Structure 1
């Protein structure tokens, strides 16, 4: 069934939610819904702009956390890792000193996304600096940095569904 494949980003949501999304798709209204809720895309298309945007959020909510060495858009994430972003932490022994590096990589598809969806993803990856696992403390931190976190995560999944459907046409 072709349409059920298009709901792969929404796996785990209740059946009533999936049927509402399925109905939007069948009626051809998903694109209109996305465009009405998120009429504009962000302008953070360079890695420098993404880094500055991420650092502003980090400095507001995670001042005392480990520094970030890199924040980039990565074209391979979405395809290879089945993820939207990655947070990596690397420790290296350099000249007798332990050096730690935190990096955030955001899927390139979010270069052309509404700003709230990019923000949700950045918040998610920043939360991994303090909380490595997806547990209660992790989601509490996400909601502290972005009160609409759960709705934006769902909307990001709808955005991915919308992008996939629009590329099929």
Structure 2
């Protein structure tokens, strides 16, 4: 069985099915059939605009975002796909806060639904800091197919890792 770093925690039966797809060299074809196009959101500005549009649709009353960008320093090896940060600074008796979202640069070349899932995940952290039931309910509110997209992104990353090793 292949080492499936991004798929740890899934059932042995599901992992066996994925291993069969890999052994038969059919994983890429299966994913490309489901997601035939890669998104064209390449620049930080385009990513910011994309993220703000989602935020304005679902989280109008949440805290503002100061920065959204692709980040080359986020390594997928640690299985982080994006990072959110909330920075509060006290200056002269006034507290200034900044919310930032950083998305792994590796996600510049994935299908749009998979990028959307990561953006939704990071946006959900504006309201829910922890990965709890309320957090995942919010993710599913913003993206009804959230859990399937997360799984498919994990498959996509597995495919890319295997191809890089070949």
Q: How does the TM-score come out when normalised to structure 1? A: 0.95
Partner of residue 122, structure 1 = 119
Instruction: Note the C-alpha offset of 1:80.
Output: 7.0
SS state at 2:125 partner:
helix
Partner of residue 150, structure 2 = 153
Q: 1:141 aligns with which of 116, 138, 142?
A: 138
Q: Matched residues in 1 for 2:149 and 2:104: separation? A: 16
Partner of residue 108, structure 2 = 111
Partner of residue 53, structure 1 = 50
Q: Displaced runs of 4+ in structure 1, greater than 3 A?
A: 79-82
Instruction: Note the C-alpha offset of 1:81.
Output: 4.6
Instruction: Note the C-alpha offset of 1:28.
Output: 0.3
More displaced, 152-161 or 29-38? 29-38
1:81/1:18 CA distance change after superposition, 3 Å: closer
Partner of residue 22, structure 1 = 19
SS state at 1:130 partner:
coil
Structure 2: gaps (5+ residues):
none
The answer on whether the counterparts of 2:71 and 2:105 sit within 8 Å (CA) in structure 1 is: yes
Q: Matched residues in 2 for 1:115 and 1:82: separation? A: 19
Q: Matched residues in 1 for 2:142 and 2:63: separation? A: 17
Instruction: Note the C-alpha offset of 1:35.
Output: 1.1
Q: Deviations over 1:61-90 (max 9, x none)?
A: 000000000001111112575300001000
1:92 aligns with 2:89: yes
Q: Deviations over 1:19-59 (max 9, x none)?
A: 11001000000011111111110000000000000000000
The number of residue pairs the alignment matches comes to 166
1:43/1:83 CA distance change after superposition, 3 Å: same
Q: How does the TM-score come out when normalised to structure 2? A: 0.97
Q: Matched residues in 2 for 1:121 and 1:81: separation? A: 15
1:89/1:152 CA distance change after superposition, 3 Å: same
